[in-house]
Structure 1
């Protein structure tokens, strides 16, 4: 395998290779890829290749096909736009409700702070997969704290669409530090019970995330995609 990094496990290297290809949109979404062929191509055994595929399946990026291999889950540009529009409506409400609940729940606060700390650590290591994993968990705790199961299911479906398409919001114009700061502002507002600030910072975060990704898609949006949402 090219680009081996000393100290990284083979599984993490295969995972990062797959993640890069997903984000670069170089997989055909209607093709079943062989884990054995992947392992042979990268010069590793089947075990780290299989484990890497399973890790990315847990992130919602791949789907395993029994006795055959794996596929990249198809998500259209229109799906991404609609997912971000839904997130722009619902996640600020979820953050506001979480800010109402979190100050009286040490469990919620501890989970949010833990996953944020893991995101910061992942950014230091430039480990995109670990960052995405903890980002998902951070947002899940936030939405669960809002106490609305229907909202949780709707937002999970919307966020799964964006993650399945390989969305990752660090770009040359949006550094790790900037991305962490967005999450820290949300965290602090929720922990402090500041409902208005939590709602505001979450809306900004989703707007910036959507703008970055839709620009990457070169999506032909005639007006600001979030204006009516």
Structure 2
């Protein structure tokens, strides 16, 4: 189960609001197809197995995070991400990932094995043609980067980065749909691992920047 970022009271038993929040954030809003659509509260409630009230509460929470817009008499609208918002997302990712890499190198806790394992899973599915292969590839992409972030040993950093998940999944799937990006992603991930393995901080930063810039340029052209 994904970490319940921004929702209090998470535990073994999730409330209806928490279930609705997680479902909409991680299953609905991550899809590029959701962009521009209005979400039907009753349909969501039926799919999740809760009443409309917790769905409405979850949508209000997502509105506070800027992931949906509540339009009077229309409901929850999923706005498109502007070029500026995408660029800001990539810039923020770069700041967080470079810091995490520097911290991991400083304390000698670079998660090389875990990152290699995540990359191997990506490579195994990179040429897949099933309907859900792109989503699985992007899920592993997120894990690859989250592993690096977690290695910094900062709960706040981990939660902040995890909170970007819905936006990252959406732009990641958009980038895959706009180009044959899987192979390039794997090559760039390997370059980050190699730089971490030799302990070259400047090179690690360079490879992280290059990886994010490639994705950004594809998204801005999409």
Aligned partner (choices 166, 178, 182) of residue 184 of structure 2? 178
* 1:141 and 2:147 matched: yes
Aligned partner (choices 31, 39, 47) of residue 22 of structure 1? 31
CA distance in 1, matches of 2:151, 2:122: 19
Matched residue pairs, number?
A: 170
- Highest RCO, 1 vs 2 (Cα 8 Å, sep ≥ 6): 1
* 1:86 and 2:92 matched: yes
Structure 1 counterpart SS, 2:127: helix
* 1:66 and 2:26 matched: no
Structure 1 residues 33 and 215 mapped into 2: Cα distance closer, same or farther (>3 Å)? farther
Aligned partner (choices 109, 121, 129) of residue 112 of structure 2? 109
Structure 2: which 5+ residue stretches go unaligned? 1-26, 60-66, 69-77
Tell whether the 8 Å contact from 1:88 to 1:203 is kept in structure 2 after alignment. yes
Structure 1 residues 165 and 96 mapped into 2: Cα distance closer, same or farther (>3 Å)? same
Residue 4 of structure 2 is matched in structure 1 by none
Residue 19 of structure 2 is matched in structure 1 by none
Structure 1 counterpart SS, 2:126: helix
RMSD, matched Cα: 3.5
TM normalised by structure 1 equals 0.59
Tell whether the 8 Å contact from 1:23 to 1:166 is kept in structure 2 after alignment. no
Structure 1 residues 93 and 175 mapped into 2: Cα distance closer, same or farther (>3 Å)? same
* 1:128 and 2:134 matched: yes
* 1:77 and 2:86 matched: no
Tell whether the 8 Å contact from 2:138 to 2:172 is kept in structure 1 after alignment. no
Residue by residue, what CA displacement relative to the aligned partner does 1:122-161 show, whole Å, maximum 9, x if unpaired?
Answer: 1022411211111111111100112233222222223432
CA drift of 1:76 comes to 4.5
Structure 1 residues 75 and 116 mapped into 2: Cα distance closer, same or farther (>3 Å)? farther
CA drift of 1:116 comes to 0.6
CA distance in 2, matches of 1:203, 1:133: 20
Structure 1: which 5+ residue stretches go unaligned? 1-17, 38-49, 51-63, 217-229
